[in-house]
Amino acid sequence: MTTDALSATFAALADPTRRAILARLSEGEATVGELAAPFDISLPAVSRHLKVLQNAGLISQGREAQWRPCRLETAPLREADGWIGAYRRFWDGGFGKMDAYLAQIQKEERDGE
C-alpha cells in the first residue's frame, strides 16, 4: 500500500508516544535508549514507533561507531504546517465573526437593561 507523505506524517503524529519522541528530539539528537527511557514500554515497542517516524520522514538515524543517534527531520512538519495553514484563514475568519456576534449580543443586552 502506498501512502502519500502528508498522510504518513499525520498518521505518525496521531500517536502520543511518537509526538513525545519528536518533542524530545526537538532538543537534540538522542539514542534509542535515551528515547525509550521515559516510557513504560518495551524497547522493541519504542523501535516500532521509531520505524513509523522514520518511514514518515520525521526522523533519521545516523551511524557513529556503535551508536545510532536519532535526529528530527523538519521537512515533513513544514509540509503539514503548510497544509494546515491553507485552512487557517477559515477558522481565523470564523473566530472573527463569532467575536463580532458575541459583541453584538452583549451590546444588545446592555442596551436592553
* Distant-in-sequence contacts of 10-19, Cβ < 8 A, 24+ apart: 10/80, 11/52, 11/56, 12/52, 12/53, 12/55, 12/56, 12/58, 13/58, 13/80, 15/49, 15/52, 17/41, 17/46, 17/49, 18/49, 18/52, 18/53
Does the CA dihedral 78-31-11-8 come out positive or negative?
positive
Reported residue count of the chain is 113
What tens digit of pLDDT does each residue of 25-62 get?
999 999 999 999 999 999 999 999 999 999 999 999 98
Q: The pTM is what? A: 0.76
